[in-house]
Amino acid sequence: MGFWPTMQIHATTYRLITRFRDTPKGVEFKLGADPQQADSALAGGSVLMAMLVEYQSRFFELGLEKELLAFRADYTQARNTATSPSP
């Protein structure tokens, strides 16, 4: 399987298939937004961008270690908040 955000934002066969669901009447197409899928794609894309910046920082000796550590802390906090049950 390809990279998750790419699979979700482009018109791929896989993305189309994930929008179908079985019902007593037969197969239906899920209309509207899918917040869980969107959150997963956004999280994956964010990690990919951070990895890209980290590799470039190492290769070009940009010295972005402090910023990358701050990103990791923010990302971890955001993911923990998003996955915590609501009161």
- Of 30, 40, 36, 29, which Cα lies nearest the Cα of 6? 40
Domain range for 43 is: 36-87
15-57 per-position pLDDT tens digit: 888 888 899 999 999 888 888 877 877 887 888 889 999 999 9
Count of domains observed in the chain: 1
Tell me, yes or no, whether 82 lies in a domain: yes
Question: pLDDT at residue 1 above 50?
Answer: no
d(CA 5, CA 64) in angstroms, rounded, equals 25
Question: pLDDT at residue 73 above 80?
Answer: yes
Counted residue by residue, the chain has a size of 87
pTM of the predicted model, to two decimals?
A: 0.64
Tell me, yes or no, whether 20 lies in a domain: no
